[in-house]
Amino acid sequence: METAKQMPRVLGFWMATAIVIGTVIGSGVFKKPHAVAKDISEFGLIMAAWILVGLLCFIGSLILAEVAIVHPKAGGNYVFLREGYGRWAGFLWGWVEFWIIRSGSIAALASVFAESFHDVLRYFLNDAGIGADVFSFWHLQGVTVTVIAVLAIVNALGTAIGGGVQLAITTVKAASLLGIALLPFVLLAVTRDAEVSAARLAPVWPEDWAAVSWSGFGSALVGIFWAYHGWMNLAPVAEEVKEPNRNLPFAFLAGTLAIIVLYVSVNVAYHLVVTRTEMRIDGGNSPVATLFALRLLGPVGLLLASLALMTSVFGALNGNLLVGPRLLYAMGKDGLAPAALGRLHANFGTPVLAIAVLAGWAVLLVAGASFLKSMGIQEDKALFDVLTDYVIFGAIVFETLGVASIFMLRRQYPVDRVQLPYRCWGYPWLPAVYVLAMAAVLANMFVTQTTEALIAVGFIAVGAVVYAVMFGGVGAKPQAVTSPADPAA
């Protein structure tokens, strides 16, 4: 069958920004406040942690926008690593992202969607006198698999379709988060009896700073990184963005700023209504957003919270199935994965086989994790936590290396010899701050999440062996050039 030669540029500024926002805002802002409250007791430190991670992502966006303008090609971080360090680095990122990071994220988000959908059904069917359990455990996994398959088909039918779905869902989810942030203040204006109190913010700061567990603070940062994970997701579809010189940097920066504002506002609202003790104890069974809505609005709040969570993870899931296959497509074109993955459908202009392979592996992860739980293994953890435990370490390692590739890029495209439409502000200090901060987070993970960190390192080492066996001697670093390729080409 005849195939298309190049992906069409169909994503404008708003769709590009929606990809940034929509693939980041998923389950984390609803579920991770529980984990954060377990590690940090003071409201001020909790908010500092959410702001700190947000600022790191914003700094990363300032840096990555320059790299993406020079390399506006499908594959994103894979291309940055390949061009900055060599084919071996691109392969290792592809190895970890396909097998664990992207597929694990898709599986985790789909499982949360299924649980929220189940909660919505229970709300309506319970009113009809039907028992609380609508789905069995395996029926729930069937819903999880089905939503992955449906969104894979949607994104295979065309990037413009997937991008349009992303824009629509992101608009709805941003509105729902704004509604959460404003709800306590609206209710206070309507009635003085609203369950809203600034007293729940106490203590704001530690009474004894020497007694603060900074290791616990670092552990909380890891949970928050999951909530912010995906801010780089515009890069894999850069080849399909209109006017990349303009839209890539603006979409990166606008998207990350919007996420910071939404996350900080929502967390302030949570803490005005739900105590940290309730977050730690009850938040393990129900998302903090559900506790928040139930207290303010009663049973209808449970429905609204479930709908908001379902919509949010649906958008993040769609975004991951939109951008994720571009990695396999780029690797297939480069000969680091089967060549068939690097082909585009003649009519749809999408990497259909790459989409099918990624969705298929995510489905197998759902089945595998579900089987472990049904056998009593990892029984004490929700499927969501089982799937996300091993995602963050590898993501931080290679995404930090991708951001750090700006140092190599500046040598290839020096400021005094090459004109670019955008340059990172504060170079080299901002990139240095970013890299050092992320290195500290990784070091802390070896202390607080030793098993996950060691398994992730072992999996990366296996990938290095696979590369050496299959592609040994083909890993030369690209030669420096004097001018960037035309981004519009």
Residue 182 half-sphere exposure toward CB, CA atoms < 13 A: 8
Q: Is 52 exposed, middle or buried (0-12, 13-18, 19+ CB in 10 A)?
A: middle
Spell out the alpha helix ranges (H) of 283-414. Answer: 288-297, 299-323, 325-334, 352-374, 383-388, 392-404, 406-412
Q: How many CB atoms neighbour CB 207 within 10 A? A: 7
Which pLDDT does position 487 carry in this prediction?
43
Element (H, E) at 78: helix 77-85
What is the model's pLDDT at position 439? 92
Q: Is 3 helix (H, G, I), strand (E, B) or coil?
A: strand
C-alpha 152/C-alpha 156 separation (Å) is: 6
Tokens, residue 15: 């769709």
Nearest-angstrom CA–CA distance, 376 and 363: 20
Task: Please list the rounded mean pLDDT of every run of 10 residues in the chain (489 residues).
Answer: 64 88 85 88 94 94 91 88 93 91 86 84 65 71 91 89 84 90 88 78 89 84 85 85 88 93 95 92 83 88 86 88 91 94 90 95 85 61 53 84 94 87 91 93 83 84 93 55 45
* Separation in Å, CA 167 to CA 174, 316, 396: 11, 11, 27
Question: What is the distance, to the nearest Å, from the Cα of residue 10 to the centroid of all Cα atoms in its chain?
Answer: 23
pLDDT at 488: 42
DSSP, collapsed to helix, strand or coil, labels residue 344 as strand
DSSP conformation letters of 230-275: TTTTTGGGGGGBSSHHHHHHHHHHHHHHHHHHHHHHHHHHHHHHS-
The domains located in the chain, with CATH, are 9-471 (1.20.1740.10)
The CA distance from 284 to 303, in Å, is 19
pTM, two decimals, is 0.83
pLDDT for residue 127: 59
DSSP code, position 480:
P
